Amino acid sequence: MSLPLPLIFDYEEIAGKFYPVIPIELKVNEKRFLTRAYVDSGATFSIFNAEIADYLGLDYRKGDKIYPAGIGGHICAYIKDIFISIHNIEICCEVLFSDEFTVKFNLLGRAGIFDRFRVCFDDSEKKLYLYEKAYSDFR
Amino acid sequence: MNKISISWNKLKKYSGLWVAIAEEEILASGRSLEEVMKKVEASGKKAEVFQVPLGEEAYILVLAFAFDF
């Protein structure tokens, strides 16, 4: 079985180090927000700053409240369903919004995204490969 | 949706701020997303908007668990 052609993204240089940061577009109703996100295979959920939810007109505090934990402790966040586009491939995802998320990266976690793509991090080449899965594979 | 390429040398002075980039240049910057998006919308350009990471931060990103207390 041959794999489909992947989407290939060069890692982004930030202060002399290279990170798998890719462009994404968030969509709520007809409002769109083009941004970039760090692809984090260790993150269960994608998480975004609450200011983005406000811009999108999303009342994120009506979402279910959860407490995602990292090595620095946990924060309060809310789950909402939104659409995320990666190179025009639109995915409905459960994501988190938090006004306690102070990291200056949007994080693109596994929920929704890693169901839709096979993800390959090539750190030596500083490239990220996303292979879109066939519809029957992720349903 | 192609990645807009912009070097860290251009971005680093905006560390911690929201920036909008279009045509590989900084279109707007500010402390709040709201003020940056007002400038973007006024320009009529399609821009990629994000917060510029703090260079000195060590990014060991782990967000593996989600507790529903």
Chain A contact probe: residue of B32, B34, B63 with most A CBs at under 10 A: B63
- Inter-chain touch B61–A15, beta carbons under 8 Å: no
- Inter-chain touch A104–B46, beta carbons under 8 Å: no
- Burial of residue A76, with CB atoms counted within 10 A of its CB: 0-12 exposed, 13-18 middle, 19 or more buried: middle
Residues in B closer than 8 angstroms to A70, CB to CB, are 61-64
Residues in A closer than 8 angstroms to B16, CB to CB, are 104
pLDDT tens string, chain A, 139 residues long: the values are 566 789 999 999 888 889 999 999 999 999 999 999 999 998 889 999 999 999 999 998 888 888 887 766 788 889 999 999 999 999 999 999 998 887 888 999 999 999 999 999 999 999 999 999 876 566 5
Interface confidence, given as ipTM, is 0.88
Give the integer Cα–Cα distance in Å for B69 and A77.
12
pLDDT of residue A3: 62
Please say whether the beta carbons of A138 and A114 come within 8 A. Answer: no
Give the integer Cα–Cα distance in Å for A9 and A88.
15
Residues in B closer than 8 angstroms to A67, CB to CB, are 66-69
Which of the given ranges, A129-138, B3-12, B19-28, has the highest pLDDT on average? B19-28
More confident: B68 or A12: A12
Residue range B7-18: average pLDDT? Answer: 91
pLDDT of residue B58: 47
pLDDT of residue B60: 53
More confident: B58 or B7: B7
Name which of A68, A67, A66, A63 is nearest A80 in CA terms: A63
Residues with Cβ within 8 Å of residue B35, at least 6 apart in sequence: B18, B28
The two three-digit tokens of residue B36, written as one number: 């940056």
For chain A, list the domains and their CATH numbers.
Answer: 21-138 (2.40.70.10)
- Inter-chain touch A105–B59, beta carbons under 8 Å: yes
pLDDT of residue B59: 56
The two three-digit tokens of residue A24, written as one number: 């994404």
The shortest CB-CB distance from A66 to any of B1, B15, B67 is to: B67
* Strands (E) located in B5-67: 18-22, 25-30, 48-51, 65-67
Chain B contact probe: residue of A22, A41, A47, A104 with most B CBs at under 10 A: A104
The shortest CB-CB distance from B53 to any of A14, A40, A68 is to: A14
């996303």: which residue's tokens? A130
pLDDT in tens, B24-65: 899 999 999 999 999 999 999 999 999 998 876 645 554 445
Domain boundaries, chain B: 1-69
